[in-house]
Amino acid sequence: MTAPDKQALACLSSIDVDLGQRSYRIEVGEGLLDSAGGVIKSRLVQPRVAVITDSNVEPLYRARLEKSLDQAGVDHQWIVLPAGERTKDFFHLRRLVDDLLFMRIERSTALVALGGGVIGDITGFAAAITLRGLDFIQIPTTLLAQVDSSVGGKTGINTTAGKNLVGAFHQPRLVLTDTQTLDTLAHRELLAGYAEVVKYGLLGDGAFFDWLEENGRVLVNGNSIAKNEARRHAIITCCRAKAAIVAADEREAGQRALLNLGHTFGHALEAQAGYGDALLHGEAVAIGMVMAFDLSARLGLCPAGQADRVRRHMADMGLPSHIKHLADSSWSADGLLAHMSLDKKVIGGKLNFVLVRGIGDAFITGEVEKSEVMALLKDALAG
């Protein structure tokens, strides 16, 4: 095993996701990519992996991971997919699975997802279905993937009917988070990931939201030492929260649905915007979370001041916080509601929402009348 350098070791933190035989570790540290080969090898049945990445990440991080895998004696083949949300579809899934099979991978060959949530989700799904199930390892390189999508085993693709509607629960064997990779991430992508960070404060940890109000700007824009420390603290806090939720409810029979705060609205916005650069997933979640607070306030469940505070934080950070930031004349309340009705969270034809009693106090309900949602959407579209 290659020795991690001293600096990486000094900053290394581990979080365990406790799922019995499917338990795994999340390692968080700066510069972890350089020692990834040895850690990966320790989880492999045979010293062979197929690394899946995208066209933006490959030129940035392939050489470092290759070197580390070579040093550890792990054989590696690479598949590079086009960057972007549109890659998470049947066409690219089929191509990916065909490429893996033509490489003559075996059941004991593991897949490694090097990239953001798109690469993690499609690679995890390919791992779940190829040869009836391969091991896979996540190396998340976006903030969104480091705090959310790489942990918990939700994998899948989008379809024309909606977001993430085809997929499988398939846990990774290991998550390796190198916080340094965030230094090359576009500011807009970092902010979109930040929305998922805020989610953890809003759904169950009011003190963390207070901390984000103080430190969010440092995390996104600060000088290197303070910025790194803030990122590290946020990533570890989010991963601990997610690990606990997933360990308690792996397949979303109950409380895991809290992680969908803002997503019922957010997925409808993404579908309406066409899954492209016009609206990133995290941006949709930012607006969706503000809408969940607005709906809660309209229903008298949460003080209106709390919704204002959430909107203000999103705006302070430079995130979109209102539908009017993206809607054009083709958008309608009926259209958005139709997208929401296709969401996975519909039970018996009823929309399921994550609503709030306040910051840090979210709950799940199927008791929201469609007329209330329509009224909110109409008012929001009217500006």
- State in angstroms the smallest separation of the CB of 148 from ligand GLY: 5
Per partner kind, with CB cut-offs from 5 to 8 A, the member of ligand GLY, ligand NAD, none near residue 256 is ligand GLY
- State in angstroms the smallest separation of the CB of 104 from ligand NAD: 28
252 catalytic per annotation: yes
> Do residues 74 and 41 touch, judged by C-beta distance below 8 A?
yes
By CB under 6 A, name the binding residues for ligand GLY: 148, 152, 154, 256, 259-260
199 catalytic per annotation: no
196 catalytic per annotation: yes
322 catalytic per annotation: no
Give exposure, 193-203, as e/b (b: 16+ Cβ within 10 Å).
Answer: bbbbbbbbbbb
Instruction: Retrieve residue 267's tokens.
Output: 């997925």
Residue closest to ligand NAD when measured from CB atoms? 117
Q: Does 180 bind ligand NAD (CB under 6 A)?
A: no
Q: Where are the beta strands (DSSP E) in 87-245?
A: 110-115, 136-140, 154-159, 162-169, 174-178
132 catalytic per annotation: yes
Q: Contact with ligand NAD (CB under 6 A): which of 123, 142, 272, 306? A: 142
24 by DSSP, 3-state: which? strand
Q: Does 192 bind ligand NAD (CB under 6 A)?
A: yes
Q: Does 84 bind ligand NAD (CB under 6 A)?
A: yes
169/190 Cα distance (integer angstroms): 26
> Do residues 259 and 242 touch, judged by C-beta distance below 8 A?
yes
Q: Does 343 bind ligand NAD (CB under 6 A)?
A: no
Q: Where are the beta strands (DSSP E) in 30-118?
A: 48-54, 75-81, 110-115
Q: Hey, what amino acid is at 36?
A: A
* Closest residue by Cα to residue 322 from 309, 332, 311, 330: 311
In whole angstroms, how far apart are CA 171 and each of 123, 127, 134, 324, 362?
A: 12, 10, 10, 38, 26
62/69 Cα distance (integer angstroms): 10
Answer positive or negative: Cα dihedral of 8, 9, 12, 17: positive
Segment interacting with ligand NAD, rule: CB under 6 A, options 36-44, 91-99, 146-154, 315-323: 146-154
Residue closest to ligand GLY when measured from CB atoms? 259
Binding to ligand NAD (CB under 6 A) within 38-57 occurs at 54, 56-57
263 catalytic per annotation: yes
339 catalytic per annotation: no
- State in angstroms the smallest separation of the CB of 382 from ligand NAD: 29
Give catalytic residue positions. 132, 154, 196, 242, 252, 256, 260, 263, 267, 281
Would you tell me which residues interact with ligand NAD (CB under 6 A)? 54, 56-57, 60, 83-85, 88, 115-119, 121, 141-142, 144-145, 148-149, 152, 154, 164, 181, 184-185, 189, 192-193, 281-282
